[in-house]
């Protein structure tokens, strides 16, 4: 007699914030998966969970009470990622871990070691990587020849509610624990990861040096306006220029320059834009579905933990670099929705990416006179 395969047993840590996105994904996957339990100190909204789902205050209690979990999704505050991922792995589960995976290179190396020790796998929620696998994508990138430069442009607005949504928002350190909640490490992390991927950067040894040029217009610790420039050992220059203080917000994109032409990768819009303006739609593969396929059929993960290593090198350069400099109020204004705006930031962002330069090097009037910190990754690794 044929026995149908049981649904994949899922637990979710973190119901609110991005956890609500995972809840919606799980609803679309009903039948293939079963949300067995959730963990969050805040109770779920009435009717938001299946009736059979068990509710716990914390993941440790959940793991002690619910056996045979296939996947634990972790969508919790950044400073909890390492501890909760380790708990889930040691309980025998696979882990879907929201980005950034952890908040220091040391914790990354520790988590990689735990993953190797345990039987489970870790998938990191860099959803943009679900767009990189299609033949359309790879053929388009191959069509522009040898890539020499990648510019990542991010122009968003964030109001006070964004910075007040949690204790860790806008923090570099909280209660003595690294948070590193900056533009490149959180809201535009997908752009950084995609740029590294397109540049062929696979491991920390593929990065030569990193410039960080960080500023803050809001009353926060972390940066809300930044250039992060990455020199690769493969001679591809990556320039990431981001702000959460734009007067004219727009969807982010990567400009990829090759020996035969250029293209724009609009990862939030799931499309490529060629030099002649032609837009090519891309099919996005769901990382959570891919995780389930990995559990059931050993499908290759699209965003395995080990592939986050280059991103963690960038995060660590930001973590260990100088704190962001405040932008003087005479260079700031307010948008109609009371968002802080850096005057003229759109032009400075475009210029930074076009020239592969930092705000300081370009002479932005609000930038500090000192040159940005240059982190020589290879030298630091050899010394360590």
Mean pLDDT of 308-319: 98
Note the residue count of the chain: 384
- Fold designation for 134-283+306-383: Dihydrodipicolinate Reductase; domain 2 (3.30.360)
Cα(172)–Cα(324) distance, integer angstroms: 10
Collapsed DSSP state (helix, strand, coil) of residue 102: coil
- What angle do helix axes 309-320 and 105-117 make, rounded to 10 degrees? 150
In which residue are the tokens 């991103």 written?
A: 311
pLDDT digits (tens, 9 = 90+) for 69-118: 999 999 999 999 999 999 999 999 999 999 999 999 999 999 999 999 99
Cα(243)–Cα(199) distance, integer angstroms: 23
- Nearest Cα neighbor of 84 from 70, 95, 71 is 95
* 2, 19, 34, 44, 95 from 37: Cα distances, Å: 28, 13, 9, 12, 14
Cα(379)–Cα(313) distance, integer angstroms: 13
Residue 160 CB contacts under 8 Å (≥ 6 apart), including other chains:
218, 338
| 17 in Cβ contact with 181 (< 8 Å) | no
pLDDT digits (tens, 9 = 90+) for 162-221: 999 889 999 999 999 999 999 999 999 999 999 999 999 999 999 999 999 999 999 999
Each domain of the chain, given as residue ranges in start order, spans 8-128, 134-283+306-383
Q: Same CATH topology for 8-128 and 134-283+306-383? A: no
Q: Report pTM.
A: 0.93
Q: Which CATH superfamily is domain 8-128 in?
A: NAD(P)-binding Rossmann-like Domain (3.40.50.720)
Cα(182)–Cα(200) distance, integer angstroms: 24
In which residue are the tokens 């045979």 written?
A: 68
* 22, 175, 266, 336, 338 from 98: Cα distances, Å: 10, 21, 21, 32, 30
Mean pLDDT of 242-260: 96
Among residues of the chain, what percentage have pLDDT more than 70? 95
Q: Is the pLDDT of residue 384 over 50?
A: no
Q: Is the pLDDT of residue 302 over 90?
A: yes
Q: Is the pLDDT of residue 310 over 90?
A: yes
pLDDT of residue 256: 97
- Nearest Cα neighbor of 66 from 42, 44, 87, 43 is 87
Instruction: Kindly report the average pLDDT of the chain as a whole number.
Output: 93
Cα(8)–Cα(70) distance, integer angstroms: 6
């Amino acid at each position: 007699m044929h026995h149908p395969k049981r649904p994949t047993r899922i637990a979710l840590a973190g119901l609110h914030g991005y956890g609500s996105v995972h809840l919606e994904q799980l609803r679309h996957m009903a039948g293939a998966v079963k949300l067995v339990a959730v963990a969050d100190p805040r109770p779920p909204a009435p009717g938001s969970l299946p009736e059979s789902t068990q509710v716990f205050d914390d993941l440790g209690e959940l793991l002690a009470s619910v056996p045979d979990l296939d996947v634990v999704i972790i969508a919790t505050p950044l400073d909890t990622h390492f501890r909760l991922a380790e708990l889930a792995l040691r309980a025998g589960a696979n882990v879907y871990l929201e980005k950034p995976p952890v908040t220091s290179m040391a914790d990354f190396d520790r988590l990689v070691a735990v993953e190797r020790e345990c039987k489970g796998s870790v998938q990191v929620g860099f959803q943009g990587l679900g767009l990189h696998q299609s033949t359309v994508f790879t053929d388009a990138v191959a069509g522009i020849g040898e890539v020499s430069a990648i510019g990542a442009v991010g122009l968003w607005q964030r109001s006070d509610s964004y910075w007040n949504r949690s204790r860790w928002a806008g923090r570099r350190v909280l209660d003595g624990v690294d948070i590193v909640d900056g533009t490149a490490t959180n809201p535009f992390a997908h752009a950084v990861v995609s740029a590294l991927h397109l540049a062929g950067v696979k491991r920390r040894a593929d990065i030569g040096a990193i410039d960080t040029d960080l500023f803050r217009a809001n009353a926060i610790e972390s940066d809300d306006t930044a250039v992060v420039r990455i020199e690769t050992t493969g001679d591809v220059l990556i320039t990431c220029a981001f702000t959460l203080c734009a007067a004219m917000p727009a969807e982010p994109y990567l400009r990829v320059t090759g020996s035969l032409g250029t293209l724009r990768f609009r990862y939030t819009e799931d499309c490529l834009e060629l030099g002649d303006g032609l837009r090519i739609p891309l099919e996005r593969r769901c990382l959570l579905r891919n995780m389930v396929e990995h559990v059931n059929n050993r499908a290759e993960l699209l965003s395995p933990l080990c592939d986050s290593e280059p991103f963690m090198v960038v995060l660590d350069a930001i973590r260990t670099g100088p704190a962001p400099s405040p932008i003087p109020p005479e260079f700031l204004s307010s948008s109609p929705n009371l968002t802080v705006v850096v005057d003229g930031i759109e032009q400075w962002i475009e210029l930074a990416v076009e020239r592969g330069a930092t705000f300081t090097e370009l002479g932005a009037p609000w930038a500090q006179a000192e040159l940005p910190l240059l982190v020589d990754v290879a030298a630091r690794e050899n010394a360590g």
